[in-house]
């Protein structure tokens, strides 16, 4: 420990208990008296550090200065402690909590990423396999059940699959869930008409079938399938009433659809069912027609 003499009172005391200006060293008492009388400004003084006393533990190294660490004299024991000091328990606990939070956040947010991925794949599959596309969309919906948008899209995809499976009642229910919730480009109104036509046909409500088919032909005047549907509806009316007016209307709508179809193979199959209905006055469902005529039906020549 280094000791110095107070310039004011002459006392000898440890250097760390004194203050110094350029020309004076003062003990604490003299420093207090001097600054209180405003003979000098406190900021002119600086506390003296004893280079032989450890700044952390107070170890006295005699008259030999200690090595400096962070501008403070430091004994070897204190140096080792500060350089190799273990993290406090609260830091370890906080870090562990942070890791748990990050993991939980990643798991929670992963479902949104997976739902987005499923949705993207579903739209890519639309033109290839509608069944798989609907499965993907249902997967996205189940991952984020609180999303009303995913619920709507899933209903839309399910509705199309139901139409393909000739389940118009389920299709209609699905499309009605989408009504006013999707952009016009999705064509929900038209799909509702197609499903409604199927529901009317299954219920043998042929008047309702005609009403829906007429509305379809107005909304889709450039689509040959609209007039094929109208021909089908009039053919049903003819089959149950024998009214030739309905037969003539059916043939006119069918001819218009044929002209617009451009050789569409799907129209050819639909046309056979309508002609069979007009010739036999027997109304067959698509499933029954395919069962009876797996290779197609041809009108017998007289």
Supply 96's token pair.
Answer: 């562990």
**Where are the chain's structural domains?**
3-83, 98-201, 204-302
The answer to whether the CB of 171 falls within 8 A of the CB of 159 is yes
Report the candidate in 183, 193, 186, 141 with the shortest Cα–Cα distance to residue 163. Answer: 193
Cβ atoms 56, 85 nearer than 8 A: no
For residue 55, how far is the Cα from the chain centroid?
57
The DSSP call for residue 87 is P
Residues 78 and 57 sit within 8 Å (Cβ to Cβ): yes
> Which residues in the chain come in under a pLDDT of 70?
21-22, 37-49, 71, 85-92, 94-95, 101-108, 300-302
- Cα separation, 5 vs 269, in Å, equals 118
pTM to 2 decimal places: 0.63
Under 8 Å CB-to-CB from 186, ≥6 apart: which residues?
156, 178
Please give the DSSP secondary-structure letter assigned to residue 19: E
The percent of residues above 70 in pLDDT, for the chain, comes to: 86
Q: Which residue has the tokens 């290839």?
A: 128
Q: Measure the CA–CA gap between 298 and 124, rounded to whole angstroms.
A: 39
pLDDT at site 302: 39
Q: What angle do CA 126, 127, 131 make, to 5 degrees?
A: 50
The neighbour count for residue 131, using CB atoms within 10 Å, is 13
**pLDDT for 72:** 76
Which candidate, 92, 62, 84, 61, places its Cα nearest to that of 74? 61
User: Cα separation of 291 and 58, whole Å?
Assistant: 102
CB 150 within 8 A of CB 119: yes
* The listed CATH number (1.10.8, 2.60.40, 3.30.1370, 1.25.40) that belongs to domain 98-201: 1.25.40
The residues near 210 (Cβ < 8 Å, ≥ 6 apart) are 230, 233, 234, 236, 237
């Amino acid at each position: 420990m280094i000791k110095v003499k107070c310039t004011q009172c002459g006392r000898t005391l440890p250097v760390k208990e004194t203050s110094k200006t350029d020309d004076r060293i003062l003990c604490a008492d003299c420093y207090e008296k001097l600054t209180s009388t405003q003979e000098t400004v406190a900021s002119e003084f600086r506390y003296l550090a004893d280079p032989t006393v450890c700044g952390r533990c107070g170890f006295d190294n005699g008259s030999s200065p200690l090595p400096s660490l962070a501008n403070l004299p430091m004994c070897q024991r204190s140096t080792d402690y500060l350089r190799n000091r273990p993290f406090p328990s609260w830091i370890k606990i906080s870090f562990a909590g942070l890791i748990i939070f990050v993991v939980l956040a990643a798991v929670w947010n992963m479902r949104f990423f997976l739902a987005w991925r499923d949705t993207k794949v579903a739209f890519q599959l639309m033109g290839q396999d509608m069944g798989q596309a609907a499965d993907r969309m249902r997967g996205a919906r189940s991952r984020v059940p609180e999303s009303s948008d995913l619920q709507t899209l899933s209903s839309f995809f399910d509705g199309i699959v139901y139409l393909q499976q000739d389940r118009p009642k389920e299709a209609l229910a699905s499309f009605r869930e989408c009504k006013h919730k999707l952009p016009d480009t999705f064509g929900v109104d038209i799909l509702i008409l197609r499903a409604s036509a199927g529901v009317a046909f299954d219920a043998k409500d042929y008047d309702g079938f005609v009403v829906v088919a007429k509305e379809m032909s107005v909304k889709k005047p450039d689509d040959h399938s609209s007039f094929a549907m109208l021909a089908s509806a009039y053919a049903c009316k003819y089959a149950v009433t024998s009214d030739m007016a309905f037969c003539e209307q059916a043939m006119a709508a069918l001819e218009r659809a044929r002209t617009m179809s451009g050789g569409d193979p799907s129209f050819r199959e639909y046309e056979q069912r309508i002609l069979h209905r007009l010739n036999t006055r027997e109304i067959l469902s698509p499933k029954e027609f395919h069962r009876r005529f797996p290779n197609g039906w041809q009108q017998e020549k007289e």
